[in-house]
Structure 1
Amino acid sequence: MLLTIVAFGIVLLGAFAQTVSGFGYALVTVPLFTMATDPRTAVVVTALTDIGLTVTAALRDRAHVRWRVAGSLTGTALLGLPVGLLVLATVAEDVLSVLIAVVVLGCVALVASGARLRTGPLGIGAVGVLVGVLTAATGTNGPPLVAAFHSLGYDPRTFRATLAAIFSGIGLVGLAGFAAIGRIDAEVLWLSLVALPAVPLGWWLGNLVFDRIRPLVFRRIVLVGLIGSAGVALAAAAG
């Protein structure tokens, strides 16, 4: 019972963060689920609960999606997914926990730095492959896209909509990959089912403040929280 309540709260927090800032769902949920369960369950439960949020967001804001960029990034991400699945299936749990925490901290640093990436065909392709690897291995695939979209100068609504479109495409293929390697088991399905109602609730709460808070301010709040969650997860893995 305690785990189901915790799972609901984690998903609610992640959905709220992503709805307001356009990213952050997996960066919030994966480290917290890792502490509550194990890293492999954390990655797959995050993917299962996130897919409804991203598909809904992509459909709702489809007029703001940059479909050409979304298609290019999704296509190249598929090249990285098999590598990420191999990491998820073969790396020891304690090593995977540390990897997730380190990746989250690195992603926080990337977003906080305001780094700009090359946005030509080669740069977009490299970002896509990296996103594919991170999607399957750690579930934390947003920050490279955040950096790329920052370089492209997208406004908040275009930013959020295009991210959602990419997450939807990669997420659906990623779920098929998780099923193929046997990672969608009874525990994963149960946790996903009990936490799923938190997704529309988090979306609703996030939309209440989306137009009332400056995205930069909320993004900074999210980044501080992510540093804390990643730090705690890293300490737990080390202990």
Structure 2
Amino acid sequence: MILAIETSDIWLSVAFWDETKRKTLLEQNLELPAQHATLLASVVKNGQEFVRQTIKKALAFEEKISAVAVAVGPGSFTGLRIGLSFVQGFCFAHEIPVVGISNHQVLATQMKPCDQKMFTIIDARREEVYLAQIDFDAEGFPEIEEHSIVLKEKLPEVIPAGSLLVKPEFHELDSEIVRNLRVKGVTLHSKGQYNARLLAELGWQKIRKFGPDDLKELEPMYIRPFAGVL
């Protein structure tokens, strides 16, 4: 059974996924206010208690946790640290392998591989986005070819004509940017979701292909240096 934990944005999402039957056994989602600077202590306490309570419920399935998949971003600095800190302690204590999955990969896996070039974007604040180009391997696993930070207004310039662009549903783009993308023939998928269920299956695929990550080396996916809690 795969335990997956997603804390990179407004949702704390936890799922238990059966790798034998390839289905979700249990998933719980908790919406958190985006006030990390003032709510950090309570978010850590409530988030860890939520995970512990979910694990207790999962034990009723009499399944053993074989691996943990955790979101590594890009996303909220504080949220990512909460998830990674819990996972590192949990996996170390129980000697469970871990894999980190990027939110870009979670967004990409919601679309079927196609002939179009695929890009994903994640809000980076300051009118910028994290931009990644995604390529699927022969087994359908999404791999990040390159990533960078781009001004939102520059997206129509940097996204190649005829590409597919995937973004989270809750991150908005200005209507003029959307219009310019469509004029260029870019297909925009605006219903992307972050959730632990998708994270779990990607984690299972990654472990099968590459093995687990080094627990001590697991870090959030940052493109620019951390400059403070926003």
Q: Which has the larger radius of gyration?
A: 2
TM-score (norm 2): 0.32
TM-score (norm 1): 0.31
Structure showing the higher helix proportion among its residues: 1
Higher relative CO (Cα under 8 Å, sequence separation at least 6) belongs to 1
